[in-house]
Structure 1
Amino acid sequence: MLCGLFRQATGFEPIAVLPIGQQGSSRRYWRLQSADGCSLVGCVGTDRKENDAFVYLSGLLHGAGINVPEVLAVSDSRMEYLQSDLGSQSLYDIIAAQGSDALEVDRLADACMAQLAKAHYLLLDKVDFSRCFPRAAMDVRSVMWDLNYFKYCFLKTVGIQFDEELLQNDFETLASMIEDECHGVLMLRDFQSRNIMVQNSVPWIIDFQGARRGPAAYDVASFAWQARAGFSAASRRSIMESYIRHAANYEAFDERYFRRSYPLCVLVRLLQVLGAYGFRGLVERKSKFITPIPQAVAMLKDLLRDYKPANIPYLSGLLEEFVRLPQLQPLEQRNHLVVEISSFSYKKGVPLDNSGNGGGFVFDCRAVHNPGRYDRYKHLTGLDAEVIEFLEENGEITDFLNNVYSLVDHAVERYMQRGFTHLCAHFGCTGGRHRSVYSAQHLAEHLSGKYGVEVRLTHREQGITQIFEQQ
């Protein structure tokens, strides 16, 4: 189908059809090239309404002189289309090569803010929001989708305990706060460096099929607070001020309203991004979505230093707690080996590696005699003296751990020799309460005492964390 569209649009036969790597999208892209050097990008979508939204918005934005790809041909089914080829270099590629504080990155970021302000305010009276996908506006329902994404794909996947009803109450309050700030610009929604191509030193916006009516501040937050881009606090402020300077050229821009809504939009954006990283990384196990999680958490920690909305107290407290979890801290802050150890219940799944490195040990403690079968131990854990005495009585748990020590000690020694910074070991049993807790605790104490390495211990089902500092 794409080859037919290429012939229709150019009059030439494509001699090369090359797949273009996907990111977090289910859409598939190809680069089609003819012998005379003509090159177009073809898209095969999975939702006709999403394609229709992109085609409509592309025409609107391109017609207003905003740097977006031009759609040149659409199939009868509207499931495929061809657009202009803007090359292979994204703004993110330039950031990765030169650093987020490079002068060229500053120049391009300023140019992006100029384009964004133009998209927001030049088309205010021209957009038919009923043609947007999947919602016409960033209303309560739209925001709740993102917040529940964060709850189910990140909080629950990481194993963070929370009160479902109190969290839901604050989510609903937060969603209403965003809806109250929704005053009518065309919010592009995923405006970040991976979705901006750079051709001849000019930025082009390529991803806007999810655009809808919403607060302008959300797009600026998406760009400046992108975890992978790694902008410093100073750069984030500079980007925000750049947007304000360009937006001030339009009569509809309200600077006071923008500044008021900005931190709220940063919060919602970061939660949405963590939800996406949780789904793509921790659920689908795609490592490129796991590695930026600590950076996103660090940015959320930065935000919470200055922004503490009083009307969502439970959510605020929960976020303050989880941004300090040892397993979510950026790896680049470590210049020594850190061993992460946890206990868990197999009923709730094996803990996922948040470092992006993969590997590590998972030890099944279920072959060891279970104290949880006896009423007098059911309410206790592997940290209680009665359970410890039961487990150690016949030496079974001691033999088990000696085998564990042999394996893990060898790995720790080799990791230290090779300068590695991360190793994980998980212990599972039926309820994650007795045998696994005992084993994880003892391995942590063993490694700390023998090697003096930093150990970060989590008893997941009890919500207990403990750090053994490097000695």
Structure 2
Amino acid sequence: MQTIPEQIANLTQQYAGMVPERIEKLPPSGSNRNYYRVHLPKQSLVATYNLNTKENQTFQRFSAHFRQANLPVPAVLAMNAEHTLYLQNDLGNTSLLNVLEADGSTPAVYALFQKSLAMLAQLQINGHRHFPYEACLTAKEFGKQAILSDLLYFKYYFLDTLQLSYDKQALMDDFEALGSYLTKTEHHYFMVRDFQSRNIMVLEGAVYCIDFQGGMKGALQYDVASLLWQARANLSEDWKHRLLEYYMDCVDRLLPKPLHRTVFEGQYNGYVLIRLLQVLGAYGFRGLFERKAHFLASIPLALQNLQFFLQHRQMGIITPELDRLLRLMTDAPILKRFHIPKANEHTPLRVEINSFSYREGIPADTTDNGGGFVFDMRGILNPGRINAYKHLSGMDKPVQDFLEQQTQMNVFLNSVWDVIDITIQEYMQRGFHHLQINFGCTGGQHRSVYAAEQTARHLRNKYNLKVQLNHTNRANWVTTPVTESSNI
């Protein structure tokens, strides 16, 4: 059976008539789709691999519809016969979220949000004309049943994990009331479903929507709520207000008659709440159940976002049991449960991370406390046994791509980080000074080096910790052969 890179190379050759110079795996998203950048002599493409064939076919069909309407979305250039792999044009690496985080709340960034909202209005209203709703992945419309599904998603994957006591029937009654209230919106057009700044690409000053395969018919308010209330974007109250006004201006220019703005904004607040709860459900599933660190780290931001909403917004409907639970969820004890400590200049903890070769032995810990962790990487397929990688290391991109794409390295490291994070947080709280973490493999050149590098990155990004990184067998990397007798 062909590997994913081999399948990408074949499809690229069929489409472009040439073999890729390089295939680069892109960072994972929140979905199960895998993305790759395909480098050709004069251009690059993006390949998407996804075993959900219906999702791929829906994306292709929706993309074709929007492209025909001259709307800014990527084009599907080719798809394999199995519908598991497709190529699209490359819109670069820079999302609206990337620009916001790099540049801050500048007038130029504000202008990009305006462009994004103008694009959204076009996608929703102009894209609605002759839209193939029969190709939607789940429901064709975000009606009461879909709203209740989102609320139950939040209940099962987040609320119930908190183990709070509540009246189940009263909560379900509130869900029913909220669902009925929100389905009475006047304007139902195409709903992107996941319109947020990380799904908006910025290329040469223009903006593009890249994630719309989950779309369906629904209220205009949902998508604008998704963008303006994205927790990680953390837009100011002033920006939220002015950008909502700008969006309504854009919509007014496209609708047969202007919006009734008071009614629209009242129901908008209800959709803000639905979106905030749906996001918490997703973070609960990906973080608390699948143990993905990025989503765990996002939970405090989402709870703070919900807390702000409860303090500053009203929906125009009373849901007493839901309101009570939401206020309990955003109280200090729950927020503290999900708090991730960050190191500062006064934090004494220093983490020493070593890659090593088992031929040379485990590095000694010369500190007073000793101890720490030793992880044996020899259960991961060894790239050092492949000629193309023998004289490279875990710091080189081809080796990294091999480990990420053709081994269980990412699964292994996520499990490692679950373990060491417990110790890191305890050590930070108790004022400990040192922790040693060791990764060993046969030659100390490929698997252990990659694991050490990625773990150092994880600890710096998540905890802002100072990390001392040592590749103890580095002097032997080029000259150490991988013998045929070595089977791990």
User: What is the TM-score of this pair, normalised by structure 2?
Assistant: 0.67
Q: 1:154 aligns with which of 154, 158, 164?
A: 158
What secondary structure, in the 3-state scheme, does the structure 2 residue paired with 1:141 have?
Answer: helix
What is the Cα deviation at residue 182 of structure 1?
7.1
Q: 1:220 aligns with which of 213, 224, 232?
A: 224
What is the Cα deviation at residue 332 of structure 1?
9.3
What secondary structure, in the 3-state scheme, does the structure 2 residue paired with 1:249 have?
Answer: helix
Q: 2:329 aligns with which of 315, 322, 327?
A: 322
Q: 1:69 aligns with which of 64, 74, 90?
A: 74
Residue by residue over 1:187-229, the C-alpha shift from the partner in whole angstroms, topping out at 9 and shown as x without a partner, is: 0010001111111121111000101001111000000000011
What is the Cα deviation at residue 273 of structure 1?
0.3
Aligned to 1:276: 282
Quote the Cα distance in structure 2 between the aligned partners of 1:95 and 1:244: 22
Aligned to 2:95: 90
Aligned to 1:22: 28
Aligned to 1:266: 272
What secondary structure, in the 3-state scheme, does the structure 1 residue paired with 2:11 have?
Answer: helix
Q: 1:359 aligns with which of 422, 429, 445?
A: 422
Quote the Cα distance in structure 1 between the aligned partners of 2:266 and 2:237: 18
Supply the AA of the counterpart residue of 2:139. R
What is the Cα deviation at residue 92 of structure 1?
1.1
2:438 is the alignment partner of 1:414: no
Pick closer, same or farther for the CA change 1:321–1:218 going to 2, 3 Å. same
Aligned to 1:81: 86
Q: 1:181 aligns with which of 185, 188, 212?
A: 185
What secondary structure, in the 3-state scheme, does the structure 1 residue paired with 2:171 have?
Answer: helix
What secondary structure, in the 3-state scheme, does the structure 1 residue paired with 2:37 have?
Answer: strand
Aligned to 2:47: 42
- Report which stretch shifted further, 179-188 or 279-288: 179-188
Work out the number of aligned pairs and report it: 353
Q: 1:192 aligns with which of 193, 196, 201?
A: 196
What secondary structure, in the 3-state scheme, does the structure 2 residue paired with 1:148 have?
Answer: helix
Residue by residue over 1:347-396, the C-alpha shift from the partner in whole angstroms, topping out at 9 and shown as x without a partner, is: xxxxxxxx99931599xxxxxxxxxxxxxxxxxxxxxxxxxxxxxxxxxx
Supply the AA of the counterpart residue of 1:31. R
Pick closer, same or farther for the CA change 1:190–1:114 going to 2, 3 Å. same
Supply the AA of the counterpart residue of 1:32. V
What secondary structure, in the 3-state scheme, does the structure 2 residue paired with 1:263 have?
Answer: helix
What secondary structure, in the 3-state scheme, does the structure 2 residue paired with 1:223 have?
Answer: helix
Aligned to 2:468: none
- Report which stretch shifted further, 265-274 or 171-180: 171-180
Does the 8 Å CA contact 2:115/2:207 hold for their aligned counterparts?
A: yes
Aligned to 1:396: none
Quote the Cα distance in structure 1 between the aligned partners of 2:22 and 2:297: 34
Residue by residue over 1:41-93, the C-alpha shift from the partner in whole angstroms, topping out at 9 and shown as x without a partner, is: 11112322211211111111122221110111122222221111001111111
What secondary structure, in the 3-state scheme, does the structure 2 residue paired with 1:77 have?
Answer: coil
Residue by residue over 1:168-197, the C-alpha shift from the partner in whole angstroms, topping out at 9 and shown as x without a partner, is: 221122222233327431100100011111
2:141 is the alignment partner of 1:137: yes
Pick closer, same or farther for the CA change 1:358–1:145 going to 2, 3 Å. farther
Quote the Cα distance in structure 1 between the aligned partners of 2:236 and 2:84: 40
Does the 8 Å CA contact 1:309/1:316 hold for their aligned counterparts?
A: no
Aligned to 1:293: 299
Supply the AA of the counterpart residue of 1:232. S
What secondary structure, in the 3-state scheme, does the structure 1 residue paired with 2:71 have?
Answer: coil
Does the 8 Å CA contact 2:79/2:87 hold for their aligned counterparts?
A: yes
Quote the Cα distance in structure 2 between the aligned partners of 1:412 and 1:220: 40
Pick closer, same or farther for the CA change 1:94–1:296 going to 2, 3 Å. same
Quote the Cα distance in structure 2 between the aligned partners of 1:258 and 1:356: 48
What is the Cα deviation at residue 255 of structure 1?
4.1
Aligned to 2:65: 60
What is the Cα deviation at residue 412 of structure 1?
4.5
Quote the Cα distance in structure 1 between the aligned partners of 2:419 and 2:147: 28
- Report which stretch shifted further, 177-186 or 256-265: 177-186
What secondary structure, in the 3-state scheme, does the structure 1 residue paired with 2:65 have?
Answer: helix
Does the 8 Å CA contact 2:276/2:302 hold for their aligned counterparts?
A: yes
Does the 8 Å CA contact 2:266/2:316 hold for their aligned counterparts?
A: no
Aligned to 2:4: none
What secondary structure, in the 3-state scheme, does the structure 1 residue paired with 2:306 have?
Answer: helix
Runs of 4+ in 1 over 4 A off after TM superposition: 329-337, 410-413
Supply the AA of the counterpart residue of 2:291. R
Aligned to 1:202: 206
2:320 is the alignment partner of 1:313: yes
Quote the Cα distance in structure 2 between the aligned partners of 1:221 and 1:240: 9
What secondary structure, in the 3-state scheme, does the structure 2 residue paired with 1:295 have?
Answer: helix
Does the 8 Å CA contact 1:282/1:290 hold for their aligned counterparts?
A: yes
Quote the Cα distance in structure 2 between the aligned partners of 1:73 and 1:49: 16
Aligned to 2:18: 12
Aligned to 1:365: none
- Report which stretch shifted further, 271-280 or 160-169: 160-169
What secondary structure, in the 3-state scheme, does the structure 2 residue paired with 1:264 have?
Answer: helix
What is the Cα deviation at residue 296 of structure 1?
1.5
Structure 1 unpaired stretches of 5+: 338-354, 363-407, 419-471
Quote the Cα distance in structure 2 between the aligned partners of 1:356 and 1:233: 39
Quote the Cα distance in structure 2 between the aligned partners of 1:411 and 1:48: 46
Aligned to 2:308: 302
- Report which stretch shifted further, 179-188 or 106-115: 179-188
Pick closer, same or farther for the CA change 1:412–1:55 going to 2, 3 Å. closer
